[in-house]
Amino acid sequence: MLISPTEPPQIKALGKVSAIPERYGCDILIVQGKARTGIQRKQFPADLLSSLADGRLYTQLPKMAELDRSLLILEGYGNWTLDGELVDFARFTKSQLYGLIYSLAFEFGVQILTVRDIKDTCAAVKSLEAWAMKPKHTSLRTRPGPQRDSWGGLGDREYASHFLQGLPGVGVELAGRIFDHFGKVPIKWDLEGVKDLLAVPGIGKVKAQKIWEVLSE
């Protein structure tokens, strides 16, 4: 992890001090193989608003766009009036902040993370480094295992429900109704056709046809 020389001691302690991150408009640069992850840190609201006023942020963003991943950490939450205006920073509203966040995310591909203070920033950066160093990220691509019953056990109903939720349009409740209706996971030769599936409450013609097609494969 490379840290810009302008960062405070707490941030510098996270890695090796180098001017390289500044070439990419960021304060911190994580390199894993050919992938580069850049982090820009702004104290909110003072530092962020001053970087908007003097144009620093606008010069940093195009450089960050060259990276594989870009993250802007906003350090602090600010104090807001009931009308949604930032205290001590006249005429800056929550609506403007939301617009800025949308532009950063959708126009420049820079993700936003808001934290409480520099201590939380350090924790977030360490966590991101650990994530970036993983060769693959599959946690959201893998369906969770079967849910346990109220006693923490796994019975036929739990395993069946887990399997049935892999069918088109079948959620937890419907999976339970299918199992309760048939007393097991129905397979092709247990059914006369779509009409047997229509007997289960919550299954309409379209859904029944899709489920039947899967069971028939």
108 in Cβ contact with 70 (< 8 Å): yes
For residue 138, being part of any structural domain is answered with: no
Number of domains in the chain: 2
pLDDT tens profile 128-179: 999 998 877 665 555 555 555 554 554 577 777 878 888 888 888 888 888 8
How confident is the model over 15-29, as a mean pLDDT? Answer: 96
Residues 8 and 107 in one domain: yes
Longest distance between any two alpha carbons in the chain, whole Å: 73
User: Domain of 30?
Assistant: 2-132
Q: Note whether 98 and 40 are same-domain residues.
A: yes
Q: Which residue has the higher pLDDT, 156 or 13?
A: 13
β-bridge mates for residue 172, sequence order: none
CATH of the domain at 100: 3.40.50.10130
Tell whether the model's pLDDT for residue 11 goes beyond 90: yes
d(CA 14, CA 152): 41
Residue 38 lies in a domain: yes
Same structural domain, 31 and 121: yes
Q: 110 and 206: one domain?
A: no
